[in-house]
C-alpha cells in the first residue's frame, strides 16, 4: 500500500462549517493548513445541503446582552447551553455578529428582503434569536474562501486515528476512499471537526442513510480523541430529532403550523394557529412525542398549516429550500400536497450522539496539541462557525511556537496502521461492514435505547464486546470505499461501548433518552455537572464527575 506523507502546521479533520472556518482563520494567521474531508467539502457535513437559521445575538436588534442571555436557557439548545456553561455560551453568542458580517461579505446572504429576519425555535413572548438566512450555498462559499487563502483541501480522505508522542498529538493517519493509499499527516496541531454521530442506532425508516443528519458523521472525532486519551463528556446522553414522516431531514422549526392529532386538537399548549415567527415548540420540548403517541395508541400527529396565508406558504417554501429540503418540496408538488390545506404527518427520528469532546472557548481539549470545534460537543451552525474560527486562531498560535516532533511516533504508527489496513484488505472471506453495522444498531436499540436498566446494559455490553472482537478479526474490505466503512464501524463500536458503560455509571434518570427505571429520580446534585469518560491505564474506561 502506498504511503503519502504530508506536513503542515494545522490539520483540520473534517471540512464542515467548523473545519472550514478553522482552516480560514488559521491560514489568516499565517499557518500552513490542510483540511482532510472524507466526502467533498462543497456539500459535506450537517450544513452541506444548506441551513436557514443562525442562532445569534445582534446588538442593534437585541439590545442589552444580559437580557438576551436569559432567554437562551429556555429555547432550542437550552440543555446544551446549560451544559457548556456561561463562559462558553457568552463567548459563542457575543461572537456571532462578527461571523454574520463576514459571511454576508463573502456571499452568504444573511438578510431577508434587506433586513435581519428572526423566526422559529422560540416560545411566544421570548426574544427571537434565530436569524433566517440563505444558507443553501454556504459550503461552496466557505470552500472558496479557504482555497483563496492557500488552504490545501484533500477530499475523499478519512482520518481515522491520531498520532501522539510524549508531548501530545503530532499528527494523524488517514486512508483514501478511492484508492489503496495511506496518508501520514505530520502536524503541529490537529483540529477535530467531524460532526455529531449518526448510524449508532437504526434509522427510524430502516433505511440506513435516511437520517436527519449526514450518515457520514460516524463519531470519528470522538473515537479518535478517546483513543488518544482525551476526555469525552456525557457520551451516554443521546438525542433525537423529528420531522416529516419517512423523510428524515432537519428543519422542524421551518414549518409554519400547529401540531395536532387526527381529530384536529393541538397536542401541545403552545400554539392554536399558524404563526410564521413562532414555531410549535412542542417538538422542542419533547421530540419523542410522535413515537409516544403511536405506542400509547393515540394515533399520529400532524403539522397542520391550515390557516396560513399565501405569503406564509411562499415564506415556508423559501426557507425549506435554504434548509436543504428541495427534495421534499419536489415531492409535495408532485403529490399535489398544499400545506395550506393538507396536514403533514410528523414522526420521531432515530437517536444520535450529540455530546462528545469537551473543549473550551479556545477550542482546546484535554490533550496537548488537540483542538475540537462544532458538533464534536456543542451544536448548530453558529456554534460551529464561532468555535471553529476560535480553534483555528488558537491552533495556529500554538503551532507557531511548537517545534516539529523528533520522536519516531509517526513512523511507528504508520507502520502499524499499514499492517492493520493491509490485513483488512487481503482477507478473502468474512462479513462485510453492513452486517456489522446492522448488528451494532440492533444491540444499541435492544439494550441501550431510551429506557435502560442494569441487567440490560450489562447484557448488551457483553454482546458488543463479542461483536467488536469478531469485527476486528474477520471483517473484509474488498475496496477502499468498503475500507472506509469498516473503519467507521470500528469507531461506532468504540463509542457504543462508552454509551453502555457511561449509562451504567450514570445511576439516575436524565431527560427523555436516559430513563433508568432502576434509578427513576433525576439527581439534582448532578445537574450542570459533566460526566467525563477517560481511558484508564489498562485501556478500560473510567468515569468522573466534574
Check residue 449 and give its pLDDT: 96
- What is the rounded distance in angstroms from the CA atom of residue 451 to the CA atom of residue 492? 20
In b/e form, how buried is each residue of 211-230, taking b as 16+ CB within 10 angstroms?
bbbbebbbbbbbbbbbbbbb
Could you count the other beta carbons within 10 Å of the beta carbon of residue 428?
Answer: 6
Give the 3-state secondary structure of residue 514: coil
Check residue 254 and give its pLDDT: 94
Check residue 76 and give its pLDDT: 62
The residues, any chain, with a CB within 8 Å of residue 543's CB and separated by 6 or more, are: 501, 502, 505, 531, 532, 533, 534
Extract the C-alpha cell encoding 234.
456525557
Question: Is-contact 464 489, C-beta < 8 A?
Answer: no
- Domain residue spans of the chain: 52-134, 241-352, 426-545
Burial class (CB in 10 A: 0-12, 13-18, 19+), 179: exposed
Output the CA torsion 459→463→466→470 (10° steps): 180
Q: What is the mean pLDDT of each run of 10 residues along the chain (546 residues)?
A: 96 98 98 98 94 96 94 74 85 97 98 97 91 97 98 98 95 96 97 96 93 94 98 96 93 95 97 95 93 95 97 97 95 97 97 94 97 92 97 98 85 91 94 97 98 98 98 96 98 98 98 96 94 94 96
Check residue 82 and give its pLDDT: 76
Give the 3-state secondary structure of residue 546: coil
Sign of the CA dihedral running 381, 384, 385, 386: positive
- Alpha carbon 534 to its chain centroid, in Å, reads 21
- What is the rounded distance in angstroms from the CA atom of residue 58 to the CA atom of residue 288? 32
Burial class (CB in 10 A: 0-12, 13-18, 19+), 493: buried
- What is the rounded distance in angstroms from the CA atom of residue 82 to the CA atom of residue 96? 18
**How wide is the angle at C-alpha 276 spanned by C-alphas 270 and 282, nearest 5°?**
25
Question: In three state form, how does the secondary structure of 189-217 look?
Answer: EEEECCCCECCCCCCCCCCCCCCCCCCCC
Distances (CA, A) of 295 to 268, 285, 290, 300, 347: 18, 18, 9, 10, 12
For 402, which DSSP code? Answer: P
Check residue 125 and give its pLDDT: 87
Burial class (CB in 10 A: 0-12, 13-18, 19+), 454: middle
Distances (CA, A) of 539 to 228, 376, 533: 11, 22, 12
CATH fold, domain 426-545, is Methane Monooxygenase Hydroxylase; Chain G, domain 1 (1.20.58)
For 337, which DSSP code? Answer: -
Amino acid at each position: 500500500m502506498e504511503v503519502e506523507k504530508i506536513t503542515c502546521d494545522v490539520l483540520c479533520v473534517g471540512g464542515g462549517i467548523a473545519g472550514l472556518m478553522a482552516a480560514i482563520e488559521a491560514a489568516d494567521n499565517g499557518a500552513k493548513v490542510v483540511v482532510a474531508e472524507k466526502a467533498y467539502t462543497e456539500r459535506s457535513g450537517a450544513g452541506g445541503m444548506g441551513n436557514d437559521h443562525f442562532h445569534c445575538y445582534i446588538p442593534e436588534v437585541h439590545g442589552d446582552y444580559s437580557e438576551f442571555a436569559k432567554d437562551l436557557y429556555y429555547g432550542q439548545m437550552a440543555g446544551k447551553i446549560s451544559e457548556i456553561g456561561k463562559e462558553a455560551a457568552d463567548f459563542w453568542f457575543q461572537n456571532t455578529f462578527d461571523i454574520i458580517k463576514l459571511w454576508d461579505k463573502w456571499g452568504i446572504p444573511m438578510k431577508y428582503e434587506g433586513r435581519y429576519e428572526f423566526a422559529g425555535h422560540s416560545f411566544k413572548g421570548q426574544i427571537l434569536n434565530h436569524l433566517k438566512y440563505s444558507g443553501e450555498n454556504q459550503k461552496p462559499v466557505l470552500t472558496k474562501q479557504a482555497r483563496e487563502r492557500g488552504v490545501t483541501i484533500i477530499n475523499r480522505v478519512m482520518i481515522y486515528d491520531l498520532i501522539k508522542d510524549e508531548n501530545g498529538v503530532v499528527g494523524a493517519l488517514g486512508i483514501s476512499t478511492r484508492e489503496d493509499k495511506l496518508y501520514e499527516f505530520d502536524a503541529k496541531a490537529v483540529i477535530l471537526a467531524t460532526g455529531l454521530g449518526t448510524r449508532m442506532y437504526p434509522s427510524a425508516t430502516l433505511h440506513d442513510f435516511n437520517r436527519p443528519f449526514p450518515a457520514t458523521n460516524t463519531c470519528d472525532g470522538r473515537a479518535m480523541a478517546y483513543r488518544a486519551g482525551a476526555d469525552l463528556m456525557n457520551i451516554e446522553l443521546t438525542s433525537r430529532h423529528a420531522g416529516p414522516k419517512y423523510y428524515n431531514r432537519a428543519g422542524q422549526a421551518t414549518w409554519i403550523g400547529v401540531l395536532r392529532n387526527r381529530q384536529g386538537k393541538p397536542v401541545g399548549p403552545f400554539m392554536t394557529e399558524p404563526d410564521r415567527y413562532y414555531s410549535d415548540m412542542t417538538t422542542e420540548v419533547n421530540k419523542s412525542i410522535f413515537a409516544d403517541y403511536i405506542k400509547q395508541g393515540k394515533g399520529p400527529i400532524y403539522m397542520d398549516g391550515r390557516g396560513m396565508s399565501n405569503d406564509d406558504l411562499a415564506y415556508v417554501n423559501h426557507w425549506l429550500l435554504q434548509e436543504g429540503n428541495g427534495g421534499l418540496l419536489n415531492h409535495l408538488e408532485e403529490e399535489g400536497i398544499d400545506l395550506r390545506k393538507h396536514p403533514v404527518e410528523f414522526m420521531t427520528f432515530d437517536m444520535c450522539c450529540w455530546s462528545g469532546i469537551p473543549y473550551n472557548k479556545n477550542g482546546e481539549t484535554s490533550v496537548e496539541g488537540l483542538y475540537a470545534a462544532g458538533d464534536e460537543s456543542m451544536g448548530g451552525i453558529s456554534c460551529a462557525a464561532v468555535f471553529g474560527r476560535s480553534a483555528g486562531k488558537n491552533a495556529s498560535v500554538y503551532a507557531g511556537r511548537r517545534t516539529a516532533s523528533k520522536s519516531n511516533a509517526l513512523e511507528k504508527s504508520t507502520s502499524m496502521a499499514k499492517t492493520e489496513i493491509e490485513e483488512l484488505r487481503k482477507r478473502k472471506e468474512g462479513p462485510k461492514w453492513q452486517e456489522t453495522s446492522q448488528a451494532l444498531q440492533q444491540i444499541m436499540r435492544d439494550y441501550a435505547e431510551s429506557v435502560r436498566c442494569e441487567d440490560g446494559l450489562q447484557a448488551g455490553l457483553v454482546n458488543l464486546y463479542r461483536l467488536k472482537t469478531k469485527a476486528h478479526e474477520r471483517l473484509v474490505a474488498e475496496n477502499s470505499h468498503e475500507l472506509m466503512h469498516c473503519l467507521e464501524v470500528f469507531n461506532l463500536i468504540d463509542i457504543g461501548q462508552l454509551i453502555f458503560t457511561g449509562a451504567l455509571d450514570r445511576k439516575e434518570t436524565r431527560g427523555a433518552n436516559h430513563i433508568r427505571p432502576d434509578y427513576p429520580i433525576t439527581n439534582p446534585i448532578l445537574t450542570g455537572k459533566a460526566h467525563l469518560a477517560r481511558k484508564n491505564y489498562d485501556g478500560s474506561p473510567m468515569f468522573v464527575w466534574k
